[in-house]
C-alpha cells in the first residue's frame, strides 16, 4: 500500500501532466483566452447537434407502432447502436492523435523531474494516469452525449434489452470501444518510435500523425453513414467484419444477449483485435519505459538536398511545414475535411454537373487550412531575426512567398485534381471551365489574404477573435453559396465562350482590385508580429 505522502505527490504530478495536455504551448496569454472561447463555442455547437440528432431519432423510432414485420427495425437497432459506438470511437481516436506527441514523458519532464527524488516508474505512472484522465474526459463526454440517443433506441420494442440494461451495456462496451481506439493510436506511435531509426523518429511520427489526422477526416462520411448499415446487418454482410464499430456491437450482443451467430463472429473478431492492440500498446510502452533514450533524443536528421529556386521565405515555410507536426497537422486535417466533402459530393454523380461544385469544397478548405497553418507561430521569440532585417525594399518580395504558397495549394492543386473529371464531362471545353475554376480560386486567395502582413509562423495567434456562431454562419454560408456559384460558373464557361470571357473579366477585375490593395499594404505597412483582438475603435463607435 502506498504511503499518503507518495499518493499526494502522485496526485500533484498527475495534475501537472493533465494541465499540460491542455496547454498548446505556442499561444500567448491572450491566445490561450481565445482558445478557451473557441472550445466553449465548439461545445455549444456539439450540444446543439446532439439535441437535433436525438429529436430526429425520436421521430424515427416513434413511427413503427403497428408494423407487421419487425425485421427492418431490428437491423436498424443494430446499425444505430453501431453509430452510437462509432462516434465516440472516432472522437477518442482524434483526441489521442492530437496528443500523441505526449504519450510518454518528454525531455523537459525527464530533465526537471529526474533531478528530484522521483523514480522513472513514478513519473511514467503519473503521465499514464494523466493521459487516461484526459482521454476519459472526452470518452465520458461523448458517451454521455449519446446516452439519450441510446435510450431512444432502447425504448423501441425491437431492442434486445430493457432500457437500463441497454444503457449499462452501451457504457461498458462503448468505453471498451473507445479504449480500443486509444490503444490503436498508442500502438502505432509506440511501434514507430521503437522501429524507426533514431534520427528519423521525430520526422516519421510527425508525418504519421498528419496521415492519421487525414485518415480520420476522410473517415467522417463513413462514420456518418453507419446508421445506413441496417441492410448490411440484415444481410449478414462480410463487409462488417472490417468495420471496428460493428465488432463492438457484436461484443455487446455476446455479453448482454440479443445476438445471433453473425454478431457472435463480429464479437469474437472484436475481442481478438482488442487483445492484440492491448498487447502491442503495453509492450511498446514497456519498451519505451526501458529505452527512454529513444524518446529523449530530439535529434532530427534532415534531407541533404538544398533548393536554389525557392526564395528565403519559401524555404523557411516549406521546412516548417515539413518538420512541425502542429503546422503539418493543421494543413492536412483541414484540407482532408475538404477532400472528404468533395469525394462525398462527386461520389455517385460523376456524370452530372452537380459534381462541379466539388472544386470549391477543395479550394475553400485547402485555402483555410493553408492560411491557418502559416498563421500559427513557431518559436515565436525567435522572430527577432525577421524584425531586425525588415525593410520597405524587401517586404513585398518576402511576403510574395505567402501568395505563391496560397496559389499553389488553393488554386493549382484543386484545379489539377478536378481536371480529369471536367475533361470527362466536357472534353476540350473543360479548358475554359478549369480556367474559370482558377479565376475563382485566385479571387478566394485574395479574400483570404486581406489584411495579411505576416511572415509565415512569426506572429502570435489569438484564436476565436470573432463570435463562434458568426464565424460558423459566415463560413457555412460561403461554403454553400460557393459550391453552387463556382459549379455554375464552370458549367457556364464550358458551354459559352462569351460567358467565360465576361465572367473572367468581372472576377479578374475584382481580384486585381484586391491584389492592388494588398500590395499597397505590403509596400507601405510594417510587418505584423503580434495578433490583436479587433478593438471597439475599429467599429468607429467613437466617431
Partner 1 sequence: MLEARGLTKRYGALLAVDRVDFCVNRGEVLGYLGPNGSGKSTTVNMIVGLLQPGSGEITLNGTKQAEDPAAYKKRIGYVPEEPFLYTHLTAPEYLTLVGRLREMPLEGLERKVTELLKLFLLWDARYSTMAAFSKGMRQRVILAAALLHNPDLLVLDEPFSGLDVNASLLFRSLITMFAAQGRMILFSTHRFDMVEKVCSRAVILSKGRVVAERTITRERPDALEELFHRVTDQQDFTPVARDILAVVQA
315's enclosing H/E stretch is helix 312-323
User: Quick one: 23 or 107, whose CB is closer to partner 1?
Assistant: 107
Q: How far is the CB of 324 from partner 1 (least distance, A)?
A: 6
Which C-beta is closer to partner 1: that of 100 or that of 380?
380
Q: Which of residues 432-451 bind partner 1 (CB under 8 A)?
A: none
Nearer to partner 1, 319 or 485 (CB): 319
Binding string, residues 455-484; x marks residues near partner 1 by CB under 8 A: ------------------------------
User: What is the closest distance, in whole angstroms, from the C-beta atom of residue 400 to partner 1 in the complex?
Assistant: 14
Q: What is the rounded distance in angstroms from the CA atom of residue 188 to the CA atom of residue 114? A: 27
Query: In a 3-state reduction of DSSP, which class is residue 68?
Result: coil
**Closest approach of partner 1 to the CB of residue 57, in Å:** 47
Half-sphere exposure of 126 (CA within 13 A, CB side): 26
What is the chain's length? 543
Under rule CB under 8 A, residue 319 binds partner 1: yes
Sole binder of partner 1 in the list 47, 302, 474, 480 (CB under 8 A)? 302
Interacting residue with partner 1 among 68, 393, 536, 537 (CB under 8 A): 393
- Among the residue ranges 12-20, 263-271, 375-383, 505-513, the one whose residues contact partner 1 (CB under 8 A): 375-383
Distance (Å, rounded) from C-alpha 38 to C-alpha 465? 9
DSSP annotation of 533 reads: P
Which has the closest alpha carbon to 61: 298, 305, 304, 227? 227
**Sign of the torsion formed by the C-alpha atoms of 270, 271, 276 and 278:** positive
- Asked whether position 394 contacts partner 1 by CB under 8 A, the answer is yes
Per-residue cell: 474: 459566415
Place of cell 462503448: 174
Q: Which is nearer to partner 1, 151 or 396 (CB)?
A: 396
Distances (CA, A) of 389 to 380, 386, 529: 16, 5, 13
Q: How far is the CB of 13 from partner 1 (least distance, A)?
A: 24
- DSSP label at 63? S
Q: Measured at the alpha carbon of residue 254, what is the angle toward residues 96 and 144, in degrees to the nearest 5?
A: 40
Distance CA 481, CA 493 (A): 18
Q: Is 297 in the site for partner 1 (CB under 8 A)?
A: yes
Q: Is 391 in the site for partner 1 (CB under 8 A)?
A: yes
**Which of 212-220, 298-306, 352-360, 515-523 is the region at the interface with partner 1 (rule: CB under 8 A)?**
298-306
Tell me the number of residues near partner 1 by CB under 8 A: 32
Ranges within 170-209 binding partner 1 (CB under 8 A): 199
67 binds partner 1 (CB under 8 A): no
Shortest approach of partner 1 to residue 382 CB, angstroms?
Answer: 4
Among 378, 417, 472, 507, binds partner 1 (CB under 8 A): 378
The single residue among 17, 18, 57, 386 that binds partner 1, judged by CB under 8 A, is 386
Q: Which of 521, 519, 385, 364 is nearest to 458 (CA)?
A: 385
Pull the grid cell for residue 499. Answer: 460567358
Q: Name the residue with cell 446487418.
A: 233
CB of residue 364 vs partner 1: minimum separation in angstroms?
29
* Residue 183 and residue 132 in contact, taking contact as beta carbons nearer than 8 Å: no
Q: Are residues 354 and 401 in contact, defined by beta-carbon separation less than 8 angstroms?
A: no
CA dihedral 242, 243, 247, 253 (to 10 degrees): -120
The answer to the question of residue 390 lying near partner 1 (CB under 8 A) is: yes
Q: Which of 315, 419, 496, 528 binds partner 1 (CB under 8 A)?
A: 315
Q: Is 387 in the site for partner 1 (CB under 8 A)?
A: yes
Cell of residue 85, nine digits: 459506438
Stretch that binds partner 1, among 62-70, 317-325, 424-432, 433-441 (CB under 8 A): 317-325
For residue 169, CA distances in Å to 4, 150, 252, 405 come to: 36, 10, 6, 51
Stretch 489-528 residues interacting with partner 1 (CB under 8 A): none
Stretch that binds partner 1, among 113-121, 209-217, 266-274, 301-309 (CB under 8 A): 301-309
The interface mask with partner 1, positions 250-289, x = CB under 8 A, is ----------------------------------------
Residue tagged 494516469 (cell numbers): 129
Q: Is 453 in the site for partner 1 (CB under 8 A)?
A: no
Q: CB 300 → partner 1: shortest distance, Å? A: 4
* Residue 241 and residue 263 in contact, taking contact as beta carbons nearer than 8 Å: no
Task: Kindly list the residues in this chain that would bind partner 1 in the complex (CB under 8 A).
Answer: 199, 297-302, 304, 308, 312, 315-316, 319-320, 323-324, 378-379, 381-382, 384-394, 398
Amino acid at each position: 500500500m502506498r504511503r499518503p505522502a507518495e499518493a499526494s505527490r502522485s496526485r500533484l504530478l498527475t495534475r501537472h501532466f493533465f494541465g499540460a495536455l491542455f496547454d498548446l504551448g505556442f499561444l500567448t496569454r491572450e491566445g490561450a483566452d481565445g482558445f478557451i472561447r473557441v472550445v466553449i463555442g465548439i461545445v455549444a455547437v456539439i450540444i446543439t447537434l446532439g439535441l437535433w440528432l436525438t429529436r430526429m431519432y425520436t421521430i424515427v423510432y416513434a413511427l413503427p407502432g403497428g408494423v407487421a414485420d419487425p425485421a427492418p427495425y431490428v437491423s436498424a437497432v443494430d446499425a444505430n447502436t453501431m453509430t452510437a459506438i462509432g462516434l465516440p470511437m472516432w472522437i477518442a481516436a482524434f483526441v489521442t492523435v492530437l496528443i500523441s506527441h505526449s504519450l510518454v514523458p518528454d525531455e523537459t519532464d525527464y530533465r526537471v523531474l529526474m533531478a528530484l527524488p522521483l523514480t522513472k516508474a513514478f513519473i511514467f505512472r503519473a503521465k499514464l494516469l494523466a493521459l487516461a484522465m484526459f482521454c476519459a474526459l472526452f470518452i465520458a463526454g461523448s458517451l454521455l452525449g449519446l446516452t439519450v440517443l441510446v435510450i431512444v433506441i432502447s425504448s423501441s420494442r425491437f431492442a434486445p434489452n430493457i432500457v437500463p440494461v441497454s444503457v449499462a451495456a452501451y457504457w461498458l462496451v462503448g468505453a471498451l470501444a473507445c479504449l480500443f481506439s486509444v490503444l490503436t493510436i498508442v500502438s502505432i506511435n509506440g511501434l514507430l518510435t521503437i522501429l524507426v531509426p533514431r534520427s528519423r523518429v521525430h520526422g516519421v511520427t510527425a508525418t504519421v500523425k498528419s496521415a492519421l489526422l487525414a485518415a480520420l477526416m476522410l473517415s467522417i462520411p463513413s462514420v456518418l453513414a453507419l446508421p445506413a448499415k441496417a441492410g448490411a446487418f440484415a444481410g449478414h454482410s462480410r463487409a462488417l467484419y472490417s468495420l471496428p464499430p460493428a465488432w463492438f456491437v457484436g461484443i455487446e450482443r455476446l455479453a448482454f444477449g440479443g445476438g445471433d451467430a453473425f454478431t457472435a463472429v463480429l464479437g469474437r473478431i472484436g475481442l481478438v483485435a482488442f487483445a492484440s492492440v492491448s498487447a502491442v500498446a503495453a509492450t511498446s510502452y514497456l519498451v519505451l519505459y526501458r529505452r527512454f533514450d529513444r524518446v529523449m533524443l530530439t535529434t532530427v536528421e534532415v534531407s541533404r538536398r538544398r533548393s536554389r529556386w525557392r526564395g528565403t521565405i519559401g524555404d523557411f515555410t516549406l521546412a516548417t511545414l515539413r518538420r512541425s507536426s502542429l503546422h503539418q497537422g493543421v494543413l492536412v486535417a483541414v484540407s482532408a475535411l475538404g477532400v472528404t466533402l468533395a469525394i462525398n459530393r462527386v461520389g455517385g454523380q460523376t456524370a452530372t454537373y452537380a459534381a462541379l461544385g466539388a472544386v470549391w469544397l477543395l479550394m475553400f478548405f485547402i485555402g483555410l487550412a493553408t492560411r491557418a497553418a502559416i498563421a500559427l507561430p513557431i518559436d515565436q521569440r525567435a522572430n527577432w531575426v525577421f524584425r531586425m532585417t525588415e525593410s520597405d525594399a524587401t517586404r513585398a518580395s518576402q511576403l510574395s512567398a505567402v501568395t505563391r504558397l496560397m496559389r499553389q495549394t488553393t488554386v493549382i492543386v484543386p484545379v489539377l485534381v478536378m481536371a480529369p473529371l471536367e475533361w470527362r464531362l466536357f472534353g476540350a471545353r473543360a479548358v475554359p471551365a478549369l480556367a474559370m475554376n482558377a479565376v475563382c480560386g485566385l479571387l478566394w486567395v485574395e479574400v483570404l489574404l486581406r489584411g495579411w502582413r505576416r511572415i509565415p509562423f512569426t506572429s502570435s495567434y489569438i484564436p476565436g477573435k470573432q463570435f463562434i456562431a458568426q464565424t460558423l454562419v459566415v463560413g457555412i454560408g460561403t461554403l454553400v453559396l460557393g459550391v453552387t456559384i463556382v459549379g455554375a460558373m464552370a458549367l457556364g464557361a464550358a458551354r459559352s465562350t462569351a460567358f467565360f470571357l465576361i465572367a473572367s473579366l468581372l472576377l479578374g477585375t475584382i481580384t486585381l482590385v484586391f491584389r492592388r490593395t494588398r500590395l499597397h499594404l505590403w509596400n507601405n505597412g510594417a510587418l505584423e508580429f503580434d495578433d490583436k483582438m479587433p478593438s471597439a475603435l475599429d467599429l468607429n463607435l467613437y466617431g
